[in-house]
């Protein structure tokens, strides 16, 4: 495509910025000539060329720091001297003041320093020490106080709010931590069936154990069982989006999206658990780098309204489509206002679409017109009328064989997640199921076949590298992306698209 170039003088450039005037002559003289906006943008940083510039054009590189340094006078500093001013008597005085201030803020519900603020700070800071969530955690201390200083030991009341207030509070906290579409399921006898009878074996290699409910105050675990208190009547559910890097399949770069999300989830779970514990409540889940071993994340996602189940047996999110690592959940005794399941027309769309099934290299996804109650084998659950996936066909392509994790199978080191990638709903707003078309899908199924045909015709959602190794977009393009204009913010889970 041709570009029209027009020379912009220093003076005209400064005029255009509204900077020309008295006292700016020197500044104007140092401003470079830009022939068009492409040159201006390119001057502002890395734009895919071999060079790498960290800052805009007006930040100069110099040979020496602007503050003077005398290397002859400098010597390595002894950090043992850094806190010699802090005598035991002074520290005791400061600590007494800090303790008094903390208790007053919590009791007075001081905005910004109330119990929920201390709890969220404690959760965020806590992951600096560990990032593995587990069933049952001891009561943590309040931050900046001694390890033994908890709500109980200080005689402070736990947080109290209405179920609606509690949900709003948790949604604000989880959003900061990276979760999205925060929802709630009230756990009754039916919902308990969505939990597993025995835990999954996650990547940490922990053995499977029975999952049971008991009338106890706190969750606990033994080598034989994981016990959930009956008073944990609510499940907080949050969407965990997956990076667009998952489009690079069959190459190891594709795993950036999958395991990047898993590691983010592990950190977020630990933070959320501590947040709830500081408030005076429990957060029960069991994860070790692979999600939640105690129940079906898709099941809780559908019941809570994080999305609808799809033909591919994943949750389809209105926000992220099928490119979701999971709908994570945590069981708690903090009363929460339940949310409802949703109907965005996606399940109905899946019944006529079949795009994921047509493009599944293993043939594991059903192409039947109607969903069924019948499973394809013991690897499918019961009681759900859907399109059961034939996982023995799928497993080798995903790089997840029954005997272990990390093997290289048909799809190469990156594995296959083609059903997530090619889904018509896994789109940025520029593609076929955008914010104009989504409401149509939700209200009528008349146009569903047309939208699927449109999606296929314009090659929306194609894998950058297919499970068969066909390259549509070179991985080198990601490595050479313009870091200042790239639309996504990295691998932070809440951003969704990286």
- HSE (CB half, 13 Å, CA atoms) of 162? 2
Instruction: Classify residue 69 as exposed, middle or buried by CB count within 10 Å of its CB (0-12, 13-18, 19+).
Output: exposed
Q: What's the rounded Cα separation, in Å, for the pair 255 and 56?
A: 33
What is the edge-to-edge ordering of all strands in the sheet holding 283-284?
Answer: 180-186, 234-241, 324-332, 283-284
Q: How confident is the model at residue 183 (pLDDT cuts 50, 70, 90)?
A: very high
Does residue 306 contact residue 380 with C-beta atoms inside 8 Å? no
Does residue 259 contact residue 291 with C-beta atoms inside 8 Å? no
Condensed to tens digits (0 to 9), the pLDDT of residues 357-413 reads 999 988 999 999 999 999 999 988 899 999 999 988 887 787 654 444 444 455 666
Q: What's the rounded Cα separation, in Å, for the pair 286 and 284?
A: 7
Rounded mean pLDDT of 282-302? 81
pLDDT at 402: 47
> What's the whole-model pTM score?
0.79
CA distances from 497 to 42, 193, 244, 249, 255 (A): 24, 33, 5, 16, 14
Condensed to tens digits (0 to 9), the pLDDT of residues 26-69 reads 444 555 555 555 555 555 443 444 555 666 777 788 888 888 98
Instruction: Classify residue 93 as exposed, middle or buried by CB count within 10 Å of its CB (0-12, 13-18, 19+).
Output: exposed
Rounded mean pLDDT of 406-425? 73
- Which helix (H) or strand (E) covers residue 297, if one does? helix 297-304
Q: What's the rounded Cα separation, in Å, for the pair 304 and 264?
A: 21
Q: What's the rounded Cα separation, in Å, for the pair 410 and 422?
A: 19
Does residue 212 contact residue 226 with C-beta atoms inside 8 Å? yes
pLDDT at 53: 61
How does the average pLDDT of the chain come out, rounded? 78
- Name, in order, each residue with C-beta under 8 angstroms of 63's C-beta and a sequence gap of 6 or more: none
Determine what percent of the chain is predicted with pLDDT higher than 90.
28
Query: Does residue 274 carry a pLDDT above 70?
Result: yes
Which of 115-119, 288-292, 353-357 is the least confident region? Answer: 288-292
Q: What's the rounded Cα separation, in Å, for the pair 228 and 37?
A: 61
CA distances from 261 to 235, 265, 483, 492 (A): 21, 6, 21, 8
Rounded mean pLDDT of 166-182? 91
Most confident among 24-38, 270-284, 397-411, 465-479 (mean pLDDT): 270-284
Residue 367: count of CB within 10 angstroms of its CB: 12
Condensed to tens digits (0 to 9), the pLDDT of residues 228-259 reads 999 999 999 998 888 878 888 888 788 777 88
Which of 99-108, 153-162, 420-429, 434-443 is the least confident region? Answer: 434-443
Q: What is the largest CA-CA distance in the chain?
A: 81
Q: What's the rounded Cα separation, in Å, for the pair 367 and 393?
A: 14
3-state secondary structure of 237: strand
Rounded mean pLDDT of 93-106? 89
Q: For strand 225-229 and strand 210-214, is the pairing parallel, antiparallel, or unpaired?
A: parallel
Which of 24-38, 203-217, 288-302, 309-323 is the least confident region? Answer: 24-38
Does residue 433 contact residue 425 with C-beta atoms inside 8 Å? yes
Q: Which of the 8 DSSP states describes residue 33? A: P
Instruction: Classify residue 190 as exposed, middle or buried by CB count within 10 Å of its CB (0-12, 13-18, 19+).
Output: exposed
- More confident call, 41 vs 210: 210
Does residue 8 contact residue 35 with C-beta atoms inside 8 Å? yes
- More confident call, 10 vs 234: 234
pLDDT at 126: 67
Does residue 260 contact residue 253 with C-beta atoms inside 8 Å? no
Q: What's the rounded Cα separation, in Å, for the pair 221 and 210?
A: 10
pLDDT at 411: 61
Which of 10-24, 134-148, 322-336, 437-451 is the least confident region? Answer: 10-24
pLDDT at 38: 56
Query: Does residue 12 carry a pLDDT above 60?
Result: no
Torsion of CA 391, 208, 183, 324, to 10 degrees: -40
Q: What's the rounded Cα separation, in Å, for the pair 295 and 315?
A: 15
**End-to-end alpha carbon distance in the chain:** 28
- More confident call, 28 vs 70: 70
221-230 burial, b at 16+ Cβ within 10 Å, e below that, comes to: beeebbbbbe
Nearest to 282, CA basis, from 207, 238, 231, 328: 231
Most confident among 53-62, 65-74, 184-193 (mean pLDDT): 184-193
Query: Does residue 442 carry a pLDDT above 80?
Result: no
Rounded mean pLDDT of 79-86? 84
What is the edge-to-edge ordering of all strands in the sheet holding 225-229?
Answer: 210-214, 225-229, 220-221
pLDDT at 223: 86
Most confident among 174-183, 420-429, 431-440 (mean pLDDT): 174-183
């Amino acid at each position: 495509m041709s570009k029209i170039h027009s020379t912009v003088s220093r003076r005209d450039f400064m005029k255009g910025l509204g900077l020309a005037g008295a006292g700016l002559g020197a500044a104007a003289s140092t401003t470079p000539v830009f022939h068009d906006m492409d040159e201006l943008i390119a001057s502002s940083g890395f734009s895919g060329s071999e060079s790498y510039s960290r800052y805009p054009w007006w930040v100069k590189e110099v040979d020496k720091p602007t503050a003077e340094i005398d290397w002859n006078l400098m010597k390595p500093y002894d950090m043992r001297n850094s806190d010699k001013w802090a005598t035991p008597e002074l520290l005791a005085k400061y600590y007494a003041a800090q303790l008094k201030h903390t208790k007053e803020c919590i009791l007075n519900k001081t905005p910004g320093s109330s119990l929920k603020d201390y709890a969220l700070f404690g959760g965020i800071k806590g992951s600096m020490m560990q990032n593995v969530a587990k069933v049952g955690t001891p009561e943590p201390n309040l931050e900046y106080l001694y390890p033994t200083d908890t709500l109980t030991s200080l005689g402070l009341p736990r947080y109290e709010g209405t179920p609606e207030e509690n949900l709003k509070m948790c949604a604000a906290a989880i959003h900061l931590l990276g979760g999205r579409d925060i929802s709630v399921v009230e756990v009754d006898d039916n919902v308990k069936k969505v939990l597993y009878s025995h835990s999954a074996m996650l990547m940490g290699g922990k053995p499977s154990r029975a999952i049971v409910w008991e009338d106890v105050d706190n969750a606990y675990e033994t080598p034989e069982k994981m016990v959930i208190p009956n008073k944990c009547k609510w499940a907080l559910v949050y969407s965990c989006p997956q990076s667009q890097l998952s489009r690079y399949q069959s190459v190891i770069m594709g795993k950036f999206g999958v395991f990047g999300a898993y590691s983010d989830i592990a950190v977020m779970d630990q933070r959320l658990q501590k947040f709830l514990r500081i408030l005076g409540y429990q957060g029960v889940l069991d994860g070790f780098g692979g999600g939640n071993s105690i129940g079906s994340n898709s099941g809780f996602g559908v019941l809570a309204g994080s999305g609808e189940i799809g033909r591919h047996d994943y949750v389809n999110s209105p926000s992220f489509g099928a490119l979701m690592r999971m709908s994570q959940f945590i069981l708690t005794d903090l009363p929460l206002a339940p949310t409802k399941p949703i109907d965005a027309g996606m399940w109905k769309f899946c019944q006529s679409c079949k795009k994921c099934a047509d493009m599944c290299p293993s043939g594991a996804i059903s192409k039947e017109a109607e969903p069924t109650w019948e499973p394809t084998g013991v690897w499918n659950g019961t009681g759900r009328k859907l399109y059961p996936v034939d996982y023995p066909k799928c497993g080798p392509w995903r790089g997840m064989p029954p005997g272990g994790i990390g093997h290289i199978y048909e799809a190469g080191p990156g594995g296959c997640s083609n059903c997530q990638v090619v889904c018509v709903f896994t789109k940025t707003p520029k593609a076929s199921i955008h914010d104009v078309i989504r409401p149509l899908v939700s209200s009528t199924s008349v146009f569903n076949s047309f939208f699927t045909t449109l999606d296929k015709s314009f090659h929306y959602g194609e894998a950058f590298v297919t499970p068969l190794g066909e390259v549509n977009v070179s991985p080198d393009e990601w490595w050479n992306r313009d870091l200042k204009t790239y639309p996504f913010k990295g691998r932070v889970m809440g951003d969704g698209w990286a």
